[in-house]
Structure 1
Amino acid sequence: MATILAFAGSNSSTSVNFKLVKHTASLIQGHKVQLLNLANFPFPMYSADHERESGFSNSLVELKDDINKVEGIVLSVNEHNGGPSAYFKNLTDWLSRLDMKFLEGTKVFLMSASPGRGGGKNALEIVEKGLSRFGADVVATFSLPSFNHNFDLETGITDSELKELHAEAMNQFLAKI
């Protein structure tokens, strides 16, 4: 039994990516899943001055420790103007200052969701490339377009083709951890 950390790269209280992560985590059986809502983790914008003057917050150190304790991560990233959100970029900036290889050896199921037809694919592609810099092994990806049309809070992914693609990606991830 592996331990999996599940979170969205968003600090929005209404994040569609967190809803997708929460749904995905509910489908995982036979493993311990820790679900984090990063809307509860306010981090200041990274700057060398802030790091020098204030160091690292307890929340950041605890998040890094949580990451180091797991075999896998389920992560869904949001997209702002064709790229990952400033919040997620800021989070990886802070984590990499604690340890550049903070994801070393960690298997990742990377997802994205968006109310638009693109499904956050641009952010997903950028983050997929970037996570390897921190040591991650992205073993599966999934993008959910038109979130409000293809997702229901009670039943999850409603489009049968997308539901099957999600299940295949999740199973690919679970087979690797």
Structure 2
Amino acid sequence: MKKIIAFGASSSKASINKQLATYAANQFKNATVEVLDLNDFEMPIYSVDKEKDNGIPQLAQDFYAKLGTADAIVISFAEHNGAYSAAFKNIFDWTSRINAKTFQEKQVLLLATSPGPRGGSSVLEIAKNRFPFQGAVVKGSFSLPSFNDNFDAEKGITNEDLKNQLLEIINAIEL
């Protein structure tokens, strides 16, 4: 059985992106899912001085090791001012110091959602363009607009067209 690591790239305790990532990861057939919480990997803000003085934090090493256990990674991005959340960016910065190929040539599904009609599309574009340089084999991307109108905690994506778009992407990924 294949393993999927999923997380919302947000530190919100009620993260809609964590909900979307969890939902999407659980749509894969014949796979186990481990959902990470970025709050479990909170570290000092990255700086070369902190790295020089203290080395790379154990939590960054733990995050990198978790990614290494996956056959595929599902990430859903919160969009803060058009870019990554500070929580994700900091973990990403520290982890990239272990290996610039942070995602270790794993298959990656990139997602984003927001309460608004653009569904985090700006941050999704940033990730789609950046992650291949960081060792991600990007297999697809999907933006869910207007989260509160199109997602239900019990049912998942409630808009059939959007749900089918995501399932088509997921079914095209071979684990």
Common topology (TM > 0.5):
yes
Aligned position for 1:129: 129
Give 5+ residue unaligned stretches, structure 2: none
Aligned position for 1:14: 14
Taking the aligned partners of 1:135 and 1:25, their CA distance within structure 2 comes to 20
Taking the aligned partners of 1:137 and 1:25, their CA distance within structure 2 comes to 16
- Post-superposition shift, 1:36? 0.8
Give the secondary-structure state (helix, strand or coil) at the position aligned to 1:44: coil
- Post-superposition shift, 1:159? 0.6
Query: Is contact 2:27–2:170 with CA below 8 Å preserved after alignment?
Result: no
Aligned residues with identical type, % of pairs: 39
Q: Deviations over 1:15-49 (max 9, x none)?
A: 11001112123323311221111123212211011
Counterpart check, 1:91 vs 2:91: yes
Q: Which runs of 4+ in 1 moved over 6 A?
A: none
RMSD (Å), alpha carbons: 1.3
Amino acid at match of 2:91: L
- Post-superposition shift, 1:62? 1.1
Kindly tell me the number of residue pairs found equivalent between the two proteins: 175
Give 5+ residue unaligned stretches, structure 1: none
Give the secondary-structure state (helix, strand or coil) at the position aligned to 1:83: coil
Query: Is contact 1:68–1:102 with CA below 8 Å preserved after alignment?
Result: no
Taking the aligned partners of 1:172 and 1:87, their CA distance within structure 2 comes to 30
Query: Is contact 1:21–1:74 with CA below 8 Å preserved after alignment?
Result: yes
